Structure 1
Amino acid sequence: MKFLVLGATGATGGLFVEQATAAGHEVVVFVRNPAKLTPRDRLAVVAGDVRDARALAEAMHGTDAVVSTLGLGKAKDPANLIADSTRALVEAAEEGGTKRLVIMSAFGVGESLPKGSAILRFLYKGGRATFADKAAGEQILTASPLDWTLVYPVLLTGKPSTENVRAIDLAELDRLPGLPRISRADVAAFLLATAVEGSWSRRTAVLTTGR
């Protein structure tokens, strides 16, 4: 398959690119600063602004699916980045014909927040602006006719892959207890499998570790 990837210079996005190219897939990454990427086989790099729908449509040409791990890093003010980039991405996908979009968000966004434990809800208080921006972007995505999947990982770690991932449909989740964690490597593997298999279509998957 051939993927367009947003957020490839981030920790999880970089792992997705590594795993996808290692598995023999073609990857086009759309980034602001190509110098942050190490060249590798089956990887093409396009420089651009994620708010530019026309540039995204051009980069998306010939791809089978889009995978986005786009985040805000340590920025306190999201400046509508996720909402604006999601709007551009949806416009580009509708124009270019790539209907499959797999988007990594975060547990705590939108309807997931009340389903977290008290300690999780307390930790997420500092990220209200970021989560509000993500929620606004997701409303744009889910209102589109595209074949989308939202992925809500819990607290992320840099530990190696465990291959012990539990995916729960947000609509079926009652409560997520404690302070669950999951490795970025496991999340990247789930994103890849979901994009390849076409699973979790128009659903939100909460990712944690365990069975």
Structure 2
Amino acid sequence: MKFLVLGATGTTGTLFVDQALEAGHEVIAYVRDAAKLPARDRLSAVTGNVRDANGLAEAMQGVDAVVSALGLGRAKDPGGLIADSTRALVEAAERTGTRRVLIMSAFGVGESLSKASAVARFMYNSGGKATFADKAAGEAMLTASDLDWTLAYPVLLTNKPNSGKVRAIDLKELDRLPGLPRISRADVAAFLLGAAASGEWSRRIAVLLTGTALKTRSLRPL
């Protein structure tokens, strides 16, 4: 497959690029600074602004899927980055005829907040309310489109290696997620790569976690 990747120089985006290249795929990284990407086979870089639909459309020509792993780090004010970039991404995809779009979001965004534990809700509301609102605004545009989208909602992220034991739960089938479960960024990258190729999570929101005893009919290995 040929991927266009947003956030390719971020922590999770870098892992996705690594895994995609190792699997033999081709990657176009849409970045602010191409110098941050070392030269590698089947990897090319396009310099651009994620808020620019024209630039995204040009970079998107001929790709099979777009994967966004854009993050905001510790920024208290997201400045509408996710909403603006998602708006531009949807416009570019519709213009070019690109159907498959996968976006890494976060558990706690939108309807998922009410399904988090009390301690998780307190943490999300105290530290990431503006960021989660920005993500929710962008996702509303994506889910209202006719694109073949997938949203990934990982729980608390770690830097541990790929465990190969990702659990993906359809948000609609989840009643409550107890405690503060965790998942590695490498596992999230693996899910995005697998979902892009299989299409199993088409137009669905996947809550991602590992190492849980939670019982639900939608709990399944990657």
After TM superposition, is the score higher than 0.5? yes
2:11 alignment counterpart: 11
Aligned to 1:135: 136
Q: Structure 1 vs Structure 2: percent identity of aligned residues?
A: 74
Superposition misfits of 4+ residues, deviation over 4 angstroms:
none
Please give the secondary structure, in 2, of the residue aligned with 1:205. Answer: strand
TM-score, normalised on structure 2? 0.94
Runs of 5+ consecutive residues of structure 2 not aligned to the other structure: 212-218
Rounded Cα–Cα distance in structure 2 between residues aligned with 1:199 and 1:170: 14
**Residue 118 of structure 2: aligned partner:** 118
**C-alpha deviation, 1:199, in angstroms:** 1.7
Residue 203 of structure 2 is matched in structure 1 by 202
1:67 aligned partner? 67
Map of 1:185 onto structure 2: 186
1:203 to partner: Cα distance: 0.4
Q: Deviations over 1:2-33 (max 9, x none)?
A: 00000111100000000000100000010111
* TM-score, with length taken from structure 1: 0.98
Written as runs of structure 1 = structure 2, the 5 A alignment for 1:31-70 is: 31-70=31-70
Amino acid at match of 2:88: A
Structure 1: unaligned runs, 5 residues or longer: none
The one-letter code matched in structure 2 to 1:61 is Q
CA distance in 2, matches of 1:175, 1:188: 24
Query: Residue 161 of structure 1 corresponds to which residue in structure 2?
Result: 162
Instruction: Find the aligned partners of 2:195 and 2:182 in 1 and give their Cα distance.
Output: 20
Matched, 1:28 2:28: yes
- Give the 3-state SS of the residue equivalent to 1:111 in structure 2: helix
By how many angstroms is 1:141 displaced? 0.3
3-state DSSP class of the match of 2:28?
Answer: strand
Partner residue, 1:151: 152
**Any idea what SS the aligned residue of 1:103 has?**
strand
**1:53 Cα shift?**
0.3
How many residues are paired up? 211
